[in-house]
Amino acid sequence: MSKDIKGFAKIHDVARFAAMTHLTLGLDADTAGSVKHLTDTWGVSAEEAVCRAVKSVDAVLNAGPIDRVEAFKELQRLLELTPEKQRHGKRRFVTRAAELVGDDPSRHKLPRFRTA
């Protein structure tokens, strides 16, 4: 990280800290352990870990209902799945699953994919 960017980050952190509201929380041992785990994982303070967790939950709760079909189509688009890639992936999955249980993969018929 360049010296200018580090300086900006420090100024940003100071401005953010100045705008904070202070709150004292009493946490049970399990929750305190979870916060400690987050601080270690993310390399941040306990205050920052709690802020990130609260923002994350708030974003999920305010996201509204999920259209699962649209989400799946978006995932396919992001993965650039073509019908051929889908068939190949399914074939690999069925083959590997059959090998894991000691079955003959050639006995399993692969479903056809609809293209639309």
The pLDDT of residue 104: 74
The pLDDT of residue 95: 78
State the pTM of this model. Answer: 0.44
pLDDT of 5 higher than 70: no
69 vs 40: which has the higher pLDDT: 40
What are 71-74's contacts with CB under 8 Å, separation 24+?
Answer: none
pLDDT digits (tens, 9 = 90+) for 42-101: 999 998 999 999 999 988 888 777 788 888 888 878 878 777 877 777 777 777 777 777
> Measured at the alpha carbon of residue 11, what is the angle toward residues 9 and 17, in degrees to the nearest 5?
100
